[in-house]
């Protein structure tokens, strides 16, 4: 008889799938990831970046379309692009190399693990754009935007730090508003229950292009811990 206690099954916001990977992306993962990888553990950001500068994080950065553009436009700041999907990370690394970015790091791991390893108040901004909507009722527990993430962000955001969010899924937008209202210590900068204007510096990624093509509204939020 098995007397081991049942193992706790972690519910992830992503499914591990390699998908199609190009040779260039594979090479970038092998050659460039080690140089750009944000280390695990709790390093002080300045020990990694070599300077005291604002540090921002994009959660689920996809192929880096947004993060690379923002890093290029803001050379005096540092950025971490967190993404689990190998081909996406490969693409992101190729973009960073082409643009010659020296202020962009990559964390190819679950953002919950990344945040757990960051010191308190390390981040000045966090971006979460078009997170997977997990639309079916039984899948909603996989949604990234929930109490656990907000708790980790409240700890890792610096004073006056904000989280910028966008989604094209109306049901997820309603869910986000409910999560914000229920999260102790968080407030919605636009006002309870309201959307923020589109963040100008957000790059238009394929997810936004598709939403525009289909005529779906896009919901932006800016939230901060009190």
Task: List active site positions.
Answer: 132
Closest contact distance (angstroms) between CB of 51 and ligand SAM is: 26
Whether the CB-CB separation of 107 and 37 falls below 8 Å is answered with yes
Closest contact distance (angstroms) between CB of 139 and ligand SAM is: 13
Pick left, alpha or beta for residue 39 (phi over 0 → left; psi -120 to 50 → alpha; otherwise beta): beta
Whether the CB-CB separation of 56 and 118 falls below 8 Å is answered with no
Strand partners, 37: 106
- Count the residues in the chain: 226
By the criterion CB under 6 A, which residues form the site for ligand SAM?
Answer: 13-14, 59-62, 65, 82-85, 88, 110-111, 129-132, 144, 205, 207
The bridge status of strand 219-225 relative to strand 186-188 is antiparallel
135 exposed, middle or buried (CB, 10 Å; 0-12, 13-18, 19+)? exposed
Tokens standing for residue 102: 């020296």
Judged by DSSP in three states, 160 sits in strand
Between 172 and 186, CB nearer to ligand SAM: 172
Between 78 and 83, CB nearer to ligand SAM: 83
Closest contact distance (angstroms) between CB of 106 and ligand SAM is: 11
Strand partners, 56: 79, 125
Closest contact distance (angstroms) between CB of 226 and ligand SAM is: 25
Closest-approach residue to ligand SAM (CB) = 60
Closest CA relative to residue 114, chosen from 186, 25, 48: 48
Between 46 and 116, CB nearer to ligand SAM: 116
DSSP string, 35-49: HHBPPSS---HHHHH
Between 85 and 157, CB nearer to ligand SAM: 85
Between 101 and 165, CB nearer to ligand SAM: 165
Closest contact distance (angstroms) between CB of 142 and ligand SAM is: 8
| Residue that the structure tokens 């939230």 belong to | 223
């Amino acid at each position: 008889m098995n007397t081991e206690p049942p193992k706790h099954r972690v519910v992830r916001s992503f499914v591990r799938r390699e998908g199609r990977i190009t040779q260039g992306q594979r090479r970038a993962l092998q050659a460039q990831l080690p140089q750009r990888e944000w280390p695990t553990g709790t390093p002080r950001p300045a020990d990694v970046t070599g300077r005291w500068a604002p540090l921002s994080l994009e959660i689920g950065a996809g192929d880096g379309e947004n993060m690379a553009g923002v890093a290029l436009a803001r050379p005096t700041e540092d950025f971490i692009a967190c993404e689990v999907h190998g081909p996406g990370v490969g693409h992101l690394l190729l973009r960073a190399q082409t643009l010659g970015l020296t202020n962009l790091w990559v964390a190819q791991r679950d953002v919950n693990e990344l945040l757990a390893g960051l010191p308190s108040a390390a981040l000045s901004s966090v971006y979460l754009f078009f997170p997977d909507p997990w639309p079916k009722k039984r899948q909603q527990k996989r949604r990234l935007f929930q109490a656990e993430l907000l708790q980790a962000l409240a700890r890792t955001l610096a004073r006056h730090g904000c989280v910028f969010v966008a989604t094209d899924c109306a049901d997820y937008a309603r869910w986000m508003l409910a999560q914000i209202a229920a999260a102790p210590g968080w407030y919605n900068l636009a006002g309870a229950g309201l959307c923020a204007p589109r963040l100008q510096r957000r790059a238009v990624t394929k997810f936004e292009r598709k939403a525009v093509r289909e005529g779906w509204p896009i919901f932006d939020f800016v939230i901060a811990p009190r």
